Amino acid sequence: MTPADAARVLTKAAAFDQRTVGAADAIVWAEALDEIGVDDALEAVTRHYRGQTDRLMPAHVRRHVEQMRRDRTRVAVAAADKRECQHGQPGGSTLHPTTGLPLCALCRTAAGRAEATRA
């Protein structure tokens, strides 16, 4: 992220919390959000202020962007793999990117039982 991008993010935050934004702010926020794209950061500002009244900090933006990336991955995996499971659920046999368990609840339960008998 460039200082100009960070200034856009800070300007949007200022519309919510009436902060003042200067060149030094933009520089340090650009450093803190270095690998985050401006569009994601702007969306993170909106997400933050939808549910919180705390003043936005770079860590908040990073957490929201990380969640957005996880959500995108989950959607992409589900869209790429539409295999039906034995229960007829589209994408049911697809493994969740975080847990590694099937998306179908019945398949997930069966997988849990199988794991328990192995232990």
Output the pTM of the full model.
Answer: 0.66
In the prediction, which pLDDT does 115 show?
60
| Segment 11-68, tens digit of pLDDT | 999 999 999 999 999 999 999 999 999 999 999 999 999 999 999 999 999 999 999 9
pLDDT given at position 76:
73
pLDDT recorded at residue 95? 75
pLDDT (0 to 100) of residue 58: 98
Q: Residue 85 in contact with residue 95, Cβ under 8 Å?
A: no
Domain borders along the chain are 1-80, 83-119
* Placement of tokens 């959500």 in the chain: 71
